[in-house]
């Protein structure tokens, strides 16, 4: 019989015909015992068993057998088959229930306490409920905890401040605290990166800046120009730095060594941020591009275009999105990376007599109640009360003048939550944004005051002083405690201001505290310290301030200050209760 051309190679045309019965049934019909799964007898070439079973027709190893023979030959794990079948038959509701039970078990394991320390099951249930509620609110993307009221007390610099000195020779431009709160990283115009121990203030490691001449061999040794931005991954494993040399350097926190240098940007790298929960890095540059990097694989991912001017700041949280400021194009852009889309928000707010008068009137009833609550909150803080009084006097004086300030550049941004963020620019105004509107939902005008008309020590006549234009102090740094009602702002007025989001439906924020810092505030980093044990305990705040004599991007002004990093440990006020948002 000729071979069939459609048969596979090695399969002869004399292959015996099999019946529709399973192999085990055929064997039992012939009086042979059926073999157990997974224990089939190995066939031998020319063996008598095959000849008897096949009726005198031998079957080689290359011949194709019945599928039931394959199951008996290799065996089948009944437990594995049943689990795969159950998973296949599992509905979407059953899958959600199974994943929820698995998540709750993980939370229970993470919140277990020592039996010798606590002996109450209710405490464990409260901890689990607190953790589940916090995680659910953070997944919703909206700020959920009110903590700013706990930090309205006067800040004692002698006990709460530590100066990290003897490090940088030139102005400090950026600073970042690791999420675990152990280390502080700072960058400077001298190109050096320093790792500090937070609790002791000791300098642990210093990566010295390289020479600008012939920088190619020194890519793995550090920056050869000003460091302008810094970011730490959420798992405290990586540190990323970007600078005026157009490069991004990735460093290992645990090993204190350089990993890789990215050089895809064509101009200064002005901003860096890690996505929370995953080691994806977002970078912005003066080349008007936003780039995405996978730091785990040390690889480039994508480039985003849209801004018409240099990008000065970028921020992101846990969603696959980021928000950037476009400097003098006066736009903010929310990049939805997964959807390959962007939302454009128009800045350029104006401060004039009408808006100042409106700010003095305090607006609607909700705003009036919020301001009254803040006044009672800060009544025991003389420094903050004085700052608030001086601010009101300045607004009254400007309301009587014909002066106006237009925002020409949006410089810094900080995300309160996934749908709310705050920006600052050269007009000195702090603007609150929501994804629901293209314009700011609230503007706090001239947040850090007005620059003095005459320099210190200068003696000129009043007529000459009156001819000089009035200039506001622009916002140079912002930092928020994510998913809470608190954020910080810095300028060159020697004060870091703490702000609290207003409760209720009326959007806005109010100043609740001030921290004295002399010099240009070029960078801010705020972290919550997670206490050991109970998740329901209030958390302390650690604030790191990068202070310099000059602005991080230029030398057009100079302040009398030291180029240092100032670290503030702000304990939660035990007299105030933490109230979650309803």
pLDDT in tens, the chain (582 residues): 444 444 444 444 444 444 444 444 444 444 444 444 444 444 444 444 444 444 444 444 444 445 444 444 444 444 544 455 555 577 878 888 888 888 777 766 765 544 445 445 555 555 666 666 666 666 666 766 889 999 999 999 888 999 998 889 999 999 999 998 999 999 999 999 999 999 999 999 999 988 876 566 666 678 999 999 999 999 999 999 999 999 999 999 999 999 999 999 999 999 999 999 899 999 999 999 999 999 999 999 999 999 999 999 999 999 999 999 999 999 999 999 999 999 999 998 888 888 888 888 877 777 888 888 999 999 989 999 999 999 999 999 888 887 788 899 999 999 999 999 999 999 999 999 999 999 999 999 999 999 876 554 555 555 554 555 678 999 999 999 999 999 999 999 999 999 999 987 778 999 999 999 999 999 999 999 876 544 446 789 999 999 999 999 998 888 889 999 999 999 986 554 444 443
Q: How far apart are the C-alpha atoms of 293 and 531, rounded to whole Å?
A: 32
Per-residue pLDDT at 151: 94
Say whether both 66 and 113 belong to one domain.
no
Residue 47 resides in a domain: yes
In a domain, 324, yes or no: no
Is residue 98 located within the same domain as residue 56? no
Beta bridge partners of 285: 269
Q: Give the pLDDT confidence score for residue 284 in this predicted structure.
A: 97
Answer yes or no: do 9 and 79 share one domain. Answer: yes
Q: Is residue 138 situated within a structural domain?
A: yes
Residue 470 confidence (pLDDT):
79
Please count the structural domains in the chain: 2
CA 402 vs. chain centroid, Å, equals: 42
- Are both 34 and 118 inside the same structural domain? no
In a domain, 329, yes or no: no
51 and 126 assigned to the same domain: no
* Domain-ending residue, one of 89, 111, 136: 89
What burial class does residue 265 get, using C-beta atoms within 10 Å of its C-beta: 0-12 exposed, 13-18 middle, 19+ buried? buried
Q: What are phi and psi of 122, to 5 degrees?
A: -65, -35
Cα Rg of the chain, angstroms: 33
pTM of the model: 0.76
Rounded distance between C-alpha atoms, residue 337 and residue 334, angstroms: 9
The pLDDT of residue 454: 57
Structural domain includes residue 104? yes
Whether 1 and 77 map to the same domain: the answer is: yes
Q: How far is CA 139 from CA 132, 134, 136, 317, in A?
A: 11, 9, 5, 11
Residues 75 and 100 in one domain: no
* 24 CA to centre of own chain: 62
492 within some domain: no
pLDDT at 96: 80
Q: Which helix (H) or strand (E) holds 129?
A: helix 121-140
Domain boundary among 89, 124, 157: 89
Beta bridge partners of 303: 291
Domain contains 472: no
Do 5 and 34 fall within a single domain?
A: yes
In total, the chain counts a number of residues equal to 582
> Residue 489 in contact with residue 447, Cβ under 8 Å?
yes
Asked if residue 118 and residue 78 are part of one domain, the reply reads no
Rounded to an integer, what distance in angstroms lies between the CA atom of residue 350 and that of residue 431?
11
Per the domain annotation, does 275 fall within a domain?
no
SS3 state of residue 43: coil
22 lies in the same domain as 100 = no
Which domain covers residue 138, as residue numbers? 94-145
Question: Do 65 and 122 fall into the same domain?
Answer: no
């Amino acid at each position: 019989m000729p071979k069939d051309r459609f048969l596979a190679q090695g399969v002869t045309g004399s292959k015996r015909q099999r019946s529709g019965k399973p192999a085990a049934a055929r064997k039992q019909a012939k009086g042979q015992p059926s073999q157990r799964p997974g224990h089939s007898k190995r066939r031998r070439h020319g063996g008598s068993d095959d000849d008897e079973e096949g009726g005198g027709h031998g079957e080689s190893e290359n011949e194709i057998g019945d599928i039931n023979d394959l199951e008996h030959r290799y065996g089948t794990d009944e437990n594995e088959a049943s689990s795969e079948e159950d998973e296949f038959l599992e509905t979407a509701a059953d899958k959600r229930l199974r994943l929820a039970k698995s998540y709750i078990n993980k939370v229970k394991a993470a919140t277990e306490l020592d039996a010798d320390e606590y002996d109450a099951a209710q405490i464990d249930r409260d901890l689990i409920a607190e953790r589940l509620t916090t995680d659910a609110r953070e997944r919703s993307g909206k700020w959920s905890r009110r903590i700013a009221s706990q930090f309205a007390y006067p800040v004692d610099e002698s006990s709460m401040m530590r100066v990290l000195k003897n490090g940088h020779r030139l102005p400090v431009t950026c600073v970042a605290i690791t999420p675990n709160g152990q280390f502080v990283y700072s960058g400077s115009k001298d190109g050096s990166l320093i790792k500090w121990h937070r609790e002791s203030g000791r300098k642990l490691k210093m990566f010295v800046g390289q020479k600008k001449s012939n920088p190619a061999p020194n890519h793995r040794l550090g920056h050869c120009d000003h460091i302008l931005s810094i970011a730490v991954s959420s798992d405290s494993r990586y540190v990323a730095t970007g600078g005026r040399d157009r490069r991004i350097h990735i460093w290992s926190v645990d090993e204190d060594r350089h990993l890789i240098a990215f050089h895809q940007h064509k101009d200064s790298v002005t901003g860096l941020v890690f996505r929370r929960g995953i080691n994806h890095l977002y970078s912005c540059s003066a080349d008007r591009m936003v780039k995405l990097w996978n730091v785990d694989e040390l690889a480039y991912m994508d480039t985003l275009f849209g801004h018409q001017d240099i990008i000065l700041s970028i921020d992101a949280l846990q969603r696959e999105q980021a928000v950037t400021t476009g400097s003098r194009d006066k736009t903010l852009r929310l990049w939805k990376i997964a959807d390959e889309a962007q939302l454009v928000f128009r800045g350029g707010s104006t401060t004039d007599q009408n808006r100042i008068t409106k700010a003095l009137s305090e607006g609607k009833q909700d705003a009036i109640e919020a301001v009254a609550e803040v006044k009672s909150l800060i009544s025991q803080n003389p420094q903050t009360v004085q700052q608030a009084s001086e601010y009101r006097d300045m607004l009254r004086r400007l309301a009587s003048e014909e002066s106006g300030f237009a925002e020409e550049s949006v410089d810094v941004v900080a995300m309160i939550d996934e749908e709310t963020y705050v920006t600052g620019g050269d007009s000195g105004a702090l603007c609150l944004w929501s994804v629901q509107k293209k314009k700011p939902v609230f503007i706090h005008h001239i947040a850090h005051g007005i620059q003095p008309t005459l320099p210190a020590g200068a003696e000129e006549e009043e007529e000459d002083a009156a001819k000089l234009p009035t200039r506001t102090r622009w916002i140079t740094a912002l930092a928020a405690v994510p998913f809470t009602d608190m954020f910080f702002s810095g300028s060159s007025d020697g004060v870091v201001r703490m702000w609290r989001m207003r409760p209720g439906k009326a959007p806005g924020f109010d100043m609740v505290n001030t921290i004295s810092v002399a010099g240009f505030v070029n960078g801010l980093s705020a972290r919550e310290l997670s206490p050991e044990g109970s998740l329901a305990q209030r958390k302390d705040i650690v604030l790191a301030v990068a202070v310099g004599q000059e602005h991080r991007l230029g030398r057009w002004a100079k302040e009398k200050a030291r180029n240092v990093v100032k670290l503030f440990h702000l304990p939660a006020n035990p007299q105030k209760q933490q109230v979650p948002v309803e």
